[in-house]
Amino acid sequence: MLMIPEDDADSLVHARAKWRGQQTFTLVAQDESSPRTIAFWILENIETAPPEKLHTALDDALKMRVHTPRKKAD
C-alpha cells in the first residue's frame, strides 16, 4: 500500500481522484508550459476558487517559472 504524508496535498488530491476513477493530468516544474498553464487555471477560477487555493497556485507557478533546467514537453 502506498503511504502518503498528510502534508503532501498534491499526492492526496491525486490519490482521491484516482480512487474515484477520475482522470488526472500532472504538471511538473521542468515543463516550460507549466507556469502558464497554472496561470490560465487561476484566470478561469479567479471568481470561484478560495483565495488560499489561488495563492497556492500562484506560488506554485512562480516556483516552476524559475526551476532549472526547463524544457519543452516530450
Q: Phi and psi dihedrals of 45, rounded to 5?
A: -115, 10
**What is the per-residue pLDDT across 12-32, written as a single tens digit (0 to 9) for each?**
888 999 999 999 999 999 999
For residues 56 and 60, what is the distance between their CA atoms, to the nearest angstrom? 6
- What is residue 34's predicted lDDT score, i.e. its pLDDT? 96
- What is residue 56's predicted lDDT score, i.e. its pLDDT? 95
- What is residue 10's predicted lDDT score, i.e. its pLDDT? 86
**What is the per-residue pLDDT across 38-54, written as a single tens digit (0 to 9) for each?**
999 999 999 999 999 99
This prediction's pTM: 0.82
Contact 18, 24 (CB under 8 A): yes
Q: Read off the pLDDT band of 3 (50, 70, 90).
A: confident
